[in-house]
Amino acid sequence: MKEQLEKRLGELKAEFESGQKTLAELEARAENIRTVLHRISGAIQVLEEELAKAGHGQNEDGN
């Protein structure tokens, strides 16, 4: 009985470690994705502002 409990304890500890490692990897990946999305958001904002300026310029020039 004791051997079975020790074996199961070892299995659970290994599974727990594996889960922690996977979670850390996923959290790092999520952070990288947030960074990319932030950069894309900034690029969208710049392009929208430039398009708005170009639109106003065309209206003033009569084009």
Query: What pLDDT score was predicted for residue 15?
Result: 98
Q: Kindly report the average pLDDT of the chain as a whole number.
A: 93
How high is the pLDDT of residue 23? 98
- Find the largest Cα–Cα distance for the chain: 90
pLDDT per residue as tens digits for the range 13-36: 999 999 999 999 999 999 999 999
Q: CA-to-CA distance for 53 and 23, rounded, in angstroms?
A: 45
> Which residue in 23, 22, 42 sits closest to 34, CA to CA?
42
CA geometry: angle 20, 21, 25, nearest 5 deg: 115
More confident residue, 58 or 31: 31
Structural domain boundaries, residue 16: 1-63
Domain count, the chain: 1
pLDDT at 57: 73
| Residue 56 CA to its chain's centroid (Å) | 36
Could you tell me the pTM of the whole model?
A: 0.70
